[in-house]
Amino acid sequence: MVMFGYTGKILFVDLGSKTLRTEPTEKYAKDFLGGRGIATRILYENPDALVFMTGPLTSFVPSGSRMDVVAVSPVTGLIGGSSTGGEFPSALKFAGYDGIVITGKSEKPVYLRIENGEVSIESAEELWGLNVFDTIEALTHGHPDLRVACIGRAGENGVKFAGISFSHRNLASRGGLGTVMGAKKLKAILVHGTEGTKPYNPVELMSVFEEIQESIISSGEFLRFKDWHVNFIPTILKLRMPYFGDYEREWEKAEEAAMKAREWFEEHTVGRASCFSCPLRCWGLVKYDGETLPINLCQGTFPAATFTLKTEDPELAWRIYRKCQSEGLDMMSTVAVVAYASRLGLVELGTEEVLEMIEKIVTRQGEGDILAEGIKRASEHFGVPAVYVKGGMESWSSDVRPFVGSALISAVADSGSVNRALYGFPEFYYYIKKEQAEMMATRFVGDVEAAYPWSYSESKVRFAVLWENLHIIADSLGVCVIALLTTPLKLWAKAYEAVTGEKITEQELMTVAERTRTLERLFTLKHGDRKDDLSPRLFRDEPKLDREKLEGMKRVYYSLRGWDENGVPKPETIEKLGLGDLV
């Protein structure tokens, strides 16, 4: 059968036996759509796999730039999931594949070359040891249309929080996916595709495209991103998101550092950029020291260097950002680990020592060798307690203590930390846009309380579940969640129909999300421990978080998901979601 929207094939590469095969995407598409859904489904049966999966809308719609990456996280032993945009995901479809599943390990460093359906496994001996930027340069030199996914030295050396880099900017950062790639001795994947992708109804697609684009452009997000870089750092202080150093609540220089960073970005931003197909232009191009590099200012990049690492000097913060990008490090974890090291007296925050410490982690010298194992194992080694979320993953670069919804989600999440579930959750912007947060809560769950960061209400749990579902839908369709949240779900459903020729309702999209979410939980139960459903110790001890009430919210969460009071999916839920054959 010809599939529209999908290329129809998923590439399976076994690096141990050096064999290649394909599976029809059709096998999974109906129940799991694509992206995060299909990737989770494949991982469930192949826990050794590293899965890259685009969605049906990847390459077709505004902000349809994305791909999901999942593997078992070397830090948590649970699912490590992360999503990426840029040019690689659509290029993979243009080359004829919906996804790539890597199993086994190579003995020697290799890279995978995919050119319009032709696939080969090549030697990467000469690339091994190169950082991300040099690897991309070596592989694409003179060929601007080649797209690269690669690891830097961090992934090669088994640093537990290495990500997978897609060009100089996008990074599937969380959960140690680059560590998995490094363990497989897979340095890079090179993709070149000129075959294009075919929608079922191009005329209808152009019309939905226009509707979606108009919706995105008229959103607050589109306006906000105009001067995002310049404004973001002072804004996140007002949002009450950052923490400082090793989970300190105050830093007397925070305001000043934010203003300096703002001025610095004003001076050094030379342009704006987007991922494939996206009108949002959330990337800023920054020129510093003769080099132009893109940056997306989320809490976990430059702001984390500024606040968590108490870096007053924006130039130093930029060099920390550049160092993490070029080594292929998850910056959220890196700053958490370095800040923890400062408590041990191993590094002085706000100084050049931070860069030296990151180098030690990447090359695993001295204490860097222990810190590279992640914050949980380091804290066991040093005997000084640390804050971490489920399974030992370093926390999100924001303080969850003032935000009850995110404390809940960081306790129950099974795939990555809260940024995979709660980006854009209204409680986060309550302190700067009260009315809008209240309006959203009323509209979605019929209760204004769900907008209050401090609220433990049942409606807050319902809101969080809905938000998690929307994230899973975005990650499964191949659409950036930022854009998905700006636009009514029914338009995305309409786009899905124009692209694939198959009807889908909003309710059916929600069901796919529920199925995927429950499968993630089943994965945790198979490989992990549900006792981990606790928010981090230091967070819990904070008087602002009421442990009893949080336990109550968890019970509501479980029941909304159709799980029992221990967080185990009930047999009837498994049956209803059609997961019976898997368990």
Partner 1 sequence: MPYLIVHEDKCIGCRTCEMVCSLSHEGVVNPDLSRIHVLGYKGEKFPIMCLQCEDAPCELVCPMEAIHMQGGIRIVDDEKCIRCKMCTLVCPIGGVLYDYINHQMIRCDLCGGDPQCVKYCPMNVIELVPDDAVPEARKRGVRILYGEAD
Q: Return the number of the residue (86 or 109) whose C-beta is nearest partner 1.
A: 86
- Between residues 65 and 516, which has the closer beta carbon with respect to partner 1? 65
Token pair 């390990």 in the structure block, residue: 105
C-alpha dihedral sign at 133, 137, 140, 144: positive
Residue type, 328: G
Q: Which of residues 78-97 bind partner 1 (CB under 8 A)?
A: 90, 94
DSSP conformation class of 227: G
Is 228 a binding residue for partner 1 by CB under 8 A? The answer is no
Q: Which two tokens stand for residue 222?
A: 């589109």
Q: How far is the CB of 59 from partner 1 (least distance, A)?
A: 5
Q: Is 324 in the site for partner 1 (CB under 8 A)?
A: no
Nearer to partner 1, 150 or 208 (CB): 208
Q: For residue 86, what are the contacts with CB-CB under 8 A and spacing of at least 6?
A: 65, 147, 166, 167, 169, 170, 275, 276
x/- letters, 34..63, toward partner 1 (CB under 8 A): -------------------------xx-x-
Counting Cα atoms < 13 Å in the Cβ hemisphere of 574 gives 15
Closest residue by Cα to residue 3 from 98, 89, 84: 98
Q: Can residue 315 be called a binding residue for partner 1 (CB under 8 A)?
A: no
Q: How many CA atoms lie within 13 A of 380 on its CB side?
A: 6
- Single out the residue of 210, 266, 356, 575 in contact with partner 1 (rule: CB under 8 A): 210
Cα-based distances in Å from 303 to 106, 174, 235, 242, 271 = 38, 17, 11, 8, 19
Residues 118 to 177 in contact with partner 1, rule: CB under 8 A? 144
# of chain residues touching partner 1 (CB under 8 A): 33
Q: How many Å separate Cα 45 from the centre of its chain? A: 22
**In the bound complex, what is the minimum distance in angstroms from residue 210's beta carbon to partner 1?**
7
Contact 386, 376 (CB under 8 A): yes
Per-residue contact string for residues 173-202; x = within reach of partner 1 by CB under 8 A: ---------------------xxxxxx--x
Q: Which helix (H) or strand (E) holds 120?
A: strand 118-123
Burial of 435 (0-12, 13-18, 19+ CB in 10 A): exposed
Smallest gap from residue 160 Cβ to partner 1 (A): 34
Which residue in the set 138, 183, 217, 538 belongs to the binding site for partner 1 (CB under 8 A)?
217
Residue 478 contacts partner 1 per CB under 8 A: no
Residue placing its CB nearer to partner 1 in the complex, 132 or 257: 132
Q: By CB under 8 A, name the one of 10, 33, 79, 205 that touches partner 1.
A: 205
Interface region with partner 1, contact rule CB under 8 A, candidates 211-219, 310-318, 332-340, 566-574:
211-219
Judged by beta carbon, residue 206 or residue 432, the one nearer partner 1 is 206
Identify whether the C-beta of residue 65 lies closer than 8 Å to the C-beta of residue 401: no
Least distance (Å) from partner 1 to the CB of residue 202? 4
Please state the φ and ψ torsions of residue 114, each to the nearest 5 degrees: -125, 110
Q: Which phi and psi angles does 46 have, rounded to 5°?
A: -130, 75
Whether residue 88 contacts residue 67, with contact meaning beta carbons closer than 8 Å, is answered with yes
Taking CA atoms, 406 is separated from 47, 179, 414, in Å, by: 28, 27, 14
Residue from the set 213, 296, 342, 487 that interacts with partner 1 by CB under 8 A: 213
Our finding on whether 328 is near partner 1 (CB under 8 A) is: no
CB 540 → partner 1: shortest distance, Å? 43
Q: How far is the CB of 144 from partner 1 (least distance, A)?
A: 6
Shortest Å, Cβ 195 to partner 1: 7
User: In this structure, what DSSP letter does residue 531 have?
Assistant: G
Task: Kindly tell me which of 169 and 260 has the beta carbon lying closer to partner 1.
Answer: 169
Nearer to partner 1, 202 or 488 (CB): 202
Distance in Å, CB of 277 to partner 1, minimum = 6
User: Within 267-306, which residues bind partner 1 (CB under 8 A)?
Assistant: 270-279, 281, 285, 292
Question: Do 536 and 398 form a contact (C-beta atoms < 8 A)?
Answer: no
User: What x-and-dash track marks residues 498-537 binding partner 1 by CB under 8 A?
Assistant: ----------------------------------------
Closer residue to partner 1, CB minimum distance, 60 or 492 = 60
Task: Please state the closest distance from residue 226 (CB atom) to partner 1, in A.
Answer: 11
Distances (CA, A) of 58 to 220, 222, 546: 24, 20, 42
Interface pick for partner 1 out of 111, 209, 265, 456 (rule CB under 8 A): 209
Structure tokens at 46: 């192949």
Q: How far is the CB of 93 from partner 1 (least distance, A)?
A: 9
Residue 569 phi, psi dihedral angles, 5° rounding: -55, 135
Residue with smaller CB distance to partner 1, 198 or 576:
198
Q: Which residue, 140 or 442, is less far from partner 1 as judged by CB?
A: 140
Cα 207 from Cα 465, distance rounded (Å): 31
DSSP H stretches of helix in 269-352? 302-307, 314-327, 331-343
Name the one residue in this structure whose structure tokens are 């702001």.
303
| In the complex, minimum distance from the CB of residue 327 to partner 1, in angstroms, rounded to a whole number | 22
Comparison of 60 and 539: residue with beta carbon closer to partner 1 = 60
Least distance from partner 1 to the Cβ atom of residue 194, Å? 4
Tokens of 300: 């976990």
The first and second tokens of residue 407, run together, are 């404390």
Q: Label residue 74 exposed, middle or buried (CB < 10 Å: 0-12, 13-18, 19+).
A: buried
Is there a contact between 342 and 246 (Cβ–Cβ < 8 Å)?
yes
Q: How far is the CB of 152 from partner 1 (least distance, A)?
A: 22
Residue with smaller CB distance to partner 1, 270 or 384? 270
Minimal distance, residue 168 CB to partner 1, in Å: 11
Residues 6+ apart with CB under 8 A from 363: 153, 157
| Residues that bind partner 1 in the complex, under the rule CB under 8 A | 59-60, 62, 90, 94, 144, 194-199, 202, 205-206, 209-210, 213, 216-217, 270-279, 281, 285, 292
